[in-house]
């Protein structure tokens, strides 16, 4: 298909999720009279006495934070999962009404004591401390016998439901492998069986050859707007080396991950000159005790903004009832992010 043909409606296949996405580039010209949000701007408060994540403050659950100087983690005071959960006893119910217990742990990890920072505005050395903490948490929680998956994720901005602007992420460790990574696991296994190689290793080679969807890269990581992207400025962070988890990274790779995270989030902020909202998370080897040679570490960025800092993409109508749909081609989105500077425009 020629480049011009991509400007007409077509659909693209996502091999990780084994689903299709409809691409309709001509819809970018349609007028917008829908919801317009308020731009989040950039916080400039280093300490908020009312913030339950700032050093020394009381948390919502009543416990007091230490006066931490770097990364700080704690068990979530309002955890969605508990170490012990009784069986709901559904054995006598019909198979269409199944339920089962789910044990787990939920933690909060504060990136930095400065209330006004984000990954984009943090120093690379400080982000490296966060990367080390992520690796430690993955190994600690994944080593618990009842835990089979560790999900690290960050919701950034009120548009993505973040309840507190302090720089932090969450870590949910679950007894069962959740649907998204389970779907990816099955797809990676089937691809390896049929091709004798890793899906994401092969995908990296394709992206390097075509280059049109690359946003930024370094010696150890590549960030692209994936061929199958659903969200307008969605990106996929890929480890160049076939490594399953943070635990397998070398010292250099951890430093490189910190650098590529800063580059990516800085480009996001510079796109619409706002503190860019997103949900970000890493998918890595399940901790179920089994060998997983198919697994290749990667991270997903799902930002909601569409046209500006105040107009977002909604997943409604056809997206909910039919299939995902996007207006901007992945190639066009990658070009807009790629040409942006790595330096945060708010830095003095």
The secondary structure element, H or E, covering residue 132 is: helix 124-142
**Identified catalytic residue from 168, 296, 298, 300:** 168
* Count of alpha carbons within 13 angstroms of residue 177, beta-carbon side: 15
Q: Which of 320, 20, 296, 22 is nearest to 181 (CA)?
A: 296
Residue 145 CB partners (closer than 8 Å, separation 6+): none
Ramachandran category for residue 21: left, alpha or beta (phi over 0 → left; psi -120 to 50 → alpha): beta
**Total Cβ atoms within 10 A of residue 108:** 21
* Count of alpha carbons within 13 angstroms of residue 42, beta-carbon side: 17
**Total Cβ atoms within 10 A of residue 238:** 23
DSSP letter (8 states) at residue 30: S
Contact 334, 213 (CB under 8 A): yes
How far is 124 from 281, CA to CA, in rounded Å?
19
Measured between alpha carbons, how far is residue 82 from residues 79, 98, 168, 172, 178 in Å?
A: 7, 20, 21, 10, 16
344 in active site: no
The secondary structure element, H or E, covering residue 138 is: helix 124-142
How far is 152 from 169, CA to CA, in rounded Å?
7
Beta bridge partners of 73: 109
Q: Which residues form the catalytic set?
A: 168
């Amino acid at each position: 298909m020629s480049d011009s043909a991509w400007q007409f409606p077509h659909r693209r296949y996502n091999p990780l999720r084994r689903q299709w996405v409809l691409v309709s580039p001509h819809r970018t010209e349609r007028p917008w009279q829908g919801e317009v949000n308020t731009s989040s701007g950039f916080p400039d408060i280093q300490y908020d006495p009312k913030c339950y994540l700032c050093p020394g403050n009381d948390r919502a659950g009543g416990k007091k934070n230490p006066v931490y100087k770097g990364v700080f983690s704690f068990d979530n005071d309002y955890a969605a999962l508990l170490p012990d959960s009784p069986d709901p006893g559904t054995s006598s119910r019909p198979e269409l009404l199944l339920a089962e217990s789910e044990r787990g742990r939920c933690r909060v990890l504060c990136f930095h004591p400065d209330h006004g920072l984000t990954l984009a505005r943090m120093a690379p050395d400080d982000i490296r401390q966060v990367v080390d903490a992520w690796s430690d948490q993955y190994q600690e929680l994944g080593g618990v016998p009842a835990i089979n998956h560790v999900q690290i994720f960050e919701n950034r901005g009120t548009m993505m439901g973040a309840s507190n602007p302090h720089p932090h992420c969450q870590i949910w460790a679950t007894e069962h492998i959740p649907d998204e990574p389970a779907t990816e696991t099955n797809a990676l296994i089937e691809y390896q069986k049929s091709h004798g190689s890793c899906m994401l290793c092969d995908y990296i080679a394709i992206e390097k050859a075509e280059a049109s969807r690359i946003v930024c890269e370094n010696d150890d990581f590549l960030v692209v707007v994936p061929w199958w992207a659903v969200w307008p400025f969605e990106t996929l962070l890929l480890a160049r080396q076939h490594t399953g988890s943070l635990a397998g990274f070398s010292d250099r790779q951890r430093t490189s991950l910190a650098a590529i995270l800063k580059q990516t989030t800085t480009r996001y902020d510079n796109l619409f000159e706002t503190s860019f909202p997103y949900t970000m998370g890493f998918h890595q080897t399940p901790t179920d005790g089994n060998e997983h040679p198919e697994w290749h570490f990667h991270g997903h960025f799902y930002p909601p903004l569409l046209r500006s800092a105040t107009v977002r993409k909604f997943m409604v109508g056809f997206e909910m009832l039919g299939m995902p749909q996007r207006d901007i081609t992945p190639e066009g989105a990658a070009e807009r992010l790629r040409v942006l500077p790595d330096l945060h425009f708010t830095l003095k």
